[in-house]
Amino acid sequence: MFSSKERFAALFLQRLEMTCGKSFKDSTKLDQYKTLGIMVREYISSNWIQTNEKSRSNSGKQTYYLSIEFLLGQLLDQNLINLGVRDVTEAGLKEIGISLQEVLDIETDAGLGNGGLGRLAACFLDSLASLNLPGHGMGIRYKHGLFEQKIVDGHQVELPEQWLKNGNVWEVRNADQSVDVPFWGHVNVSDQNGRLTFRHEHATLITAVPYDIPVIGYDTGTVNTLRLWNAEPYIHHHETDILSYKRETEAVSEFLYPDDTHDEGKILRLKQQYFLVCASVKSIVNSYRKTHKSLYGLHKKVSIHINDTHPALAVPELMRILLDEEKMSWEEAWHITVHTISYTNHTTLSEALEKWPIHLFKPLLPRMYMIIEEINERFCRSVWEQYPGDWKRIENAAITAHGVVKMAHLAIVGSYSVNGVAKIHSDILKEREMKGFHILFPKKFNNKTNGITHRRWLLKANPDLSAMISESIGERWIKQPEALIDLKSFAYDAAFIEQFQLIKEKKKQELADIIFCTSGVVVNPESIFDVQVKRLHAYKRQLLNVLHIMYLYNRLKEDTGFSIHPQTFIFGAKASPSYYYAKKIIKLIHSVADKVNYDPAIRGLIKVVFLENYRVSLAERIFPASDVSEQISTASKEASGTGNMKFMMNGALTIGTHDGANIEILERVGPDCIYTFGLKAEEVLSYYENGGYRSREYYQHDRRIRQVADQLINGFFEGEADEFESIYDSLLPHNDEYFVLKDFSSYLDAQERIQSDYRDRRKWSERSIENIAHSGYFSSDRTIREYAEDIWGIKPME
């Protein structure tokens, strides 16, 4: 099909007429996109079947990665690249007058995630398939992904996202593998020959229908599966109010919750969690039963990983199957469960730790609750045996206490592995947040520093740079990203540097065009592109960045002798719709932009841009065009970050705190190739524990701080006198929980170092290339290999 451009072109025209029922001349870009997508699916179909058979019959083990989010982005281009048919496709389409790029641009992002956690799951799928590992994703087929963001007068407005509007060429509906998920009702307990049996009666059933998406590995025959569950009415449902039943059912897979690192605590969210878990665990067990008579050896052939606590009900659900359906003893069932499930913790922010009120939980999931109570009782008893009389220890570690179910505690007790996502984060888990559990289960805890797939974030997003890398060090890096280290010798090669700079300039010009088209702001492509793109959150401190811009503005206005290399500050960020403070920061960025961008006294030296609707496809255009990567979270708060790695891989230099994976970037590139500043995690944590920080002192003693803080409320932003009061209050009356003012001065120093270093472009480029050379460690191939070897015990197929 893709053997030559002529053959491809002929087949493409034939398929176009067949699938769209139109002649080529009447076809739209969407028709062409669909045709190409269908051809790719057809092309991989036998490999998909084979991978399925291989992993089923495989005497080895399989992993199922359960995640409430998969932030996939677009799939067509990556699939063409991974199959090695992109060039022939582009050439074939060109023959018949079609631009591949225009066809690719038609695809809407699959935005089934909020940010880092969902994107991590997507990167892991690519690495699993590319490493020939038997690992499959399971998630929810939300009808609407993360909201589309519009900016109106500087304010965020949310619109429902519509990724399925034009259908989805990648999915296959497998209704024959549907499973039913019970909610509500009650549990009937009876004694049958001395064994208690449990029947869930009068439940409301929802049918989970799987939609399977192929996950195509790079240059390999492996095609794994991402299974997304759709909630549909149970056909034999008997209830009088059929319409409201239908509405409530469909609501379960209708919307992705738009919260990032925040616990919503709503009943619909709990329904989504059990829907995902129940459907996934049942389908895993069904597939295992096809080749095994009993479930006694399940943990030897199956591993179930839970991405954060959202799927933590996998623990009681697997127990339920083993106890109620397989009639195992508690001890047998528990042994299998705790040897099947592993768990990744993503945050230590207390507002993100899931806690379900028992009064909501118990009626919705009565059998789950019974099993959790039993797990809790046995766990507490074992702690008591180890530490008799230590009530405090038991109270702190209990799974249910004070009227809530603590999902992280359930996940830790019910799994054999608990990992954090960067060294510092794993250490904080062990030594502070989960210290009690670490003492009880020292061997469960481990670290797996996050990674990103370099095949999307470098090979696909930056084809020019990728080609140049391959010309210099060969193509080995695409399968073995650690080979990027060979670039080190080119970091000081004049011809290489010159070509690298040309590519960066081209990417900056392309982003400047996007900025102009979407926001109307003209930016100077020769300015420093200083970029902060990530979800909007107080701990990520977009505010620190903004206050620095206000300081620069003030300085340029007051001191005509002061000059800088032109700098463009680029933001992209969605705020959770209910997060009032975050939305105010978006408004503030726009108000600062309006001040700065049009003031002639600034001489165009600084520009501020907010890119609307930050998402994967836009991110792919931003990273290659960036000079400076803003990773300025309050130390200890950002578990890892993955945006930092995408920037690094494209040659941006990091300005960052000693937080998350920034620390490991520093360890690799060395202090000359990164701009670190600010409080250390221990200092932040010690302030939280012992007090002693008074933001007002920094306000009083630093004129620069006083000026920018006052400008939030003194009419500096004309007609918006009250708009930013809550931001001002967060900094002063509320004593600046995130240490923005404390870190302000050292952040300015780091920015000044950037200003002075950027003047020596050659040196700057050397540092960029050093960053790329060391970025191989941050490929998710490395991360996934570690999971496969240390946690899951799975091996490459064949």
Active-site residue list: 346, 534-535, 540, 642, 646
Binding-site member from 37, 92, 115, 678 for ligand PLP (CB under 6 A): 115
| 579 residue type, one letter | Y
User: Nearer Cβ to ligand PLP, position 252 or 616?
Assistant: 616
At residue 376, the 3 state secondary structure works out as helix
What's the CA angle centered on 131, arms 125 and 135, to 5 degrees? 45
Binding-site member from 368, 589, 619, 709 for ligand PLP (CB under 6 A): 619
DSSP output for 623-657: GGG-SEEEE-PPTTS-S--SHHHHHHHTTPEEEE-
User: Nearer Cβ to ligand PLP, position 419 or 642?
Assistant: 642
CB atoms < 10 A from the CB of 706, how many? Answer: 14
CB within 8 Å of 46: residues ≥ 6 apart:
none
User: Nearer Cβ to ligand PLP, position 330 or 539?
Assistant: 539
- From the CB of 761, what's the least distance to ligand PLP, in Å? 26
- From the CB of 779, what's the least distance to ligand PLP, in Å? 14
User: Nearer Cβ to ligand PLP, position 16 or 452?
Assistant: 452
User: Nearer Cβ to ligand PLP, position 88 or 645?
Assistant: 645
- From the CB of 123, what's the least distance to ligand PLP, in Å? 9
CA gap 318, 282 in Å, rounded: 8
Stretch that binds ligand PLP, among 216-224, 298-306, 391-399, 611-619 (CB under 6 A): 611-619
What's the CA angle centered on 446, arms 412 and 125, to 5 degrees? 85
Supply 794's token pair: 């799975």
Stretch that binds ligand PLP, among 129-137, 215-223, 550-558, 614-622 (CB under 6 A): 614-622
- From the CB of 449, what's the least distance to ligand PLP, in Å? 13
CA gap 87, 437 in Å, rounded: 53
Told to check if 662 binds ligand PLP by CB under 6 A, we report: no
Lookup result for tokens 């528990």: 334
* Widest CA span in the chain: 92
Told to check if 146 binds ligand PLP by CB under 6 A, we report: no
Lookup result for tokens 């490999």: 47
465 class by beta-carbon count within 10 Å (0-12 exposed, 13-18 middle, 19+ buried): buried
User: Nearer Cβ to ligand PLP, position 496 or 571?
Assistant: 571
Binding-site member from 5, 34, 86, 119 for ligand PLP (CB under 6 A): 119
Stretch that binds ligand PLP, among 53-61, 299-307, 362-370, 609-617 (CB under 6 A): 609-617
- From the CB of 646, what's the least distance to ligand PLP, in Å? 6
Site residues for ligand PLP, 530-549, by CB under 6 A, read 534-535
Stretch that binds ligand PLP, among 32-40, 75-83, 113-121, 351-359 (CB under 6 A): 113-121
Stretch that binds ligand PLP, among 378-386, 412-420, 426-434, 642-650 (CB under 6 A): 642-650
Told to check if 648 binds ligand PLP by CB under 6 A, we report: no
Binding-site member from 185, 217, 451, 641 for ligand PLP (CB under 6 A): 641
What's the CA angle centered on 413, arms 411 and 419, to 5 degrees? 55
- From the CB of 73, what's the least distance to ligand PLP, in Å? 7
| SS3 annotation, 352-373 | HCCEEEHHHHHHHCHHHHHHHH
User: Nearer Cβ to ligand PLP, position 313 or 616?
Assistant: 616
CB 96 within 8 A of CB 24: yes
Told to check if 121 binds ligand PLP by CB under 6 A, we report: no
Residues of the chain by 3-state class (helix, strand, coil), percent to 5 = 55, 15, 30
206-235 burial code (b ≥16 CB/10 A, e <16): bbbbbbbbbbbbbebbbbbbbbbbbbbbbe
Binding-site member from 347, 642, 765, 779 for ligand PLP (CB under 6 A): 642
Site residues for ligand PLP, 308-367, by CB under 6 A, read none
Strand spans (E) along 119-203: 135-140, 148-152, 155-159, 172-173, 179-183, 186-192, 195-201
- HSE of 242 in the Cβ direction (CA atoms, 13 Å)? 6
Stretch that binds ligand PLP, among 147-155, 283-291, 610-618, 738-746 (CB under 6 A): 610-618
Strand spans (E) along 361-429: 400-401, 404-406, 417-420
Told to check if 420 binds ligand PLP by CB under 6 A, we report: no
Q: How many residues bind ligand PLP (CB under 6 A)?
A: 13
174 class by beta-carbon count within 10 Å (0-12 exposed, 13-18 middle, 19+ buried): middle
User: Nearer Cβ to ligand PLP, position 130 or 450?
Assistant: 450
Told to check if 616 binds ligand PLP by CB under 6 A, we report: yes
Site of interaction with ligand PLP (CB under 6 A): 115-116, 119, 534-535, 614-616, 619, 641-643, 646
